[in-house]
Amino acid sequence: MTKIDSLDTSILKLLQENGKRSYTEMAKMLEVSEGTIRTRVNRMLNDKIFEFIIHMDPNKIGLQVQAIIGIATKLGYQEQVANRLNQCKEVRFVGVFSGRHDLILQAYFKNNEALVDFVNEELAQLEGIDTVDVSIELKQYKDSFSYIANGEEHHEYVEENS
């Protein structure tokens, strides 16, 4: 497995605070050269340790209804169903989980009608689904992508490429 060291971690931490931070600023903050930052960032991008994305507010682009949907598939259909769900634009997340529902998804819809249509039309076309259990989001408290906590990185390290 690709290892990340404490400099990598420090860079990730600065970028999770602000995805637009410049190499120059990070170099100054971490007291390394801008080239080092660039090398590290490029290596981590190559290793798919992170990617630069935009995170839209679903409500503000007209997606008013968020649901978490538990699906129990018929034995032998899990992979096929998951792959098809993967291609549905409404679906943000699909995973296989322990418990009664072997697939759990998060999905966004314009309104309740679009959700009902998704279940009755899109899901109904997928062979291999046994039961569907829809939970509607009533209020959101957190939707963050900052996985690295304060104090987890270590600032003492030697500049590598010097």
Interface with a copy of itself in residues 57-86 (CB under 8 A): 57-58, 60-63, 66-68, 72, 75-76, 78-79, 82-83, 85-86
Report which DSSP code applies to 160.
S
Dihedral over Cα of 78, 97, 93, 69: its sign: positive
Contact letters (x/-) for a copy of itself, 122-141, by CB under 8 A?
A: -xxxx--xxxxxxxxxxxxx
Which member of 20, 46, 158, 161 binds a copy of itself (CB under 8 A)?
A: 20
38 near a copy of itself (CB under 8 A): no
Could you tell me which residues come within 8 angstroms of residue 67 by beta carbon, excluding any fewer than 6 positions away? 106, 107, 109, 115, 134, 135, 136, 137
Q: Which of 73, 66, 63 is nearest to 107 (CA)?
A: 66
Q: Could you tell me the two tokens for 28?
A: 């100054």
Nearer to a copy of itself, 53 or 162 (CB): 53
97 near a copy of itself (CB under 8 A): yes
Nearer to a copy of itself, 48 or 158 (CB): 48
156 near a copy of itself (CB under 8 A): no
Only one of the segments 28-36, 52-60, 154-162 lies at the binding site for a copy of itself (rule: CB under 8 A); that segment is 52-60
48 near a copy of itself (CB under 8 A): yes
Could you tell me which residues come within 8 angstroms of residue 161 by beta carbon, excluding any fewer than 6 positions away? 33, 35, 36, 39
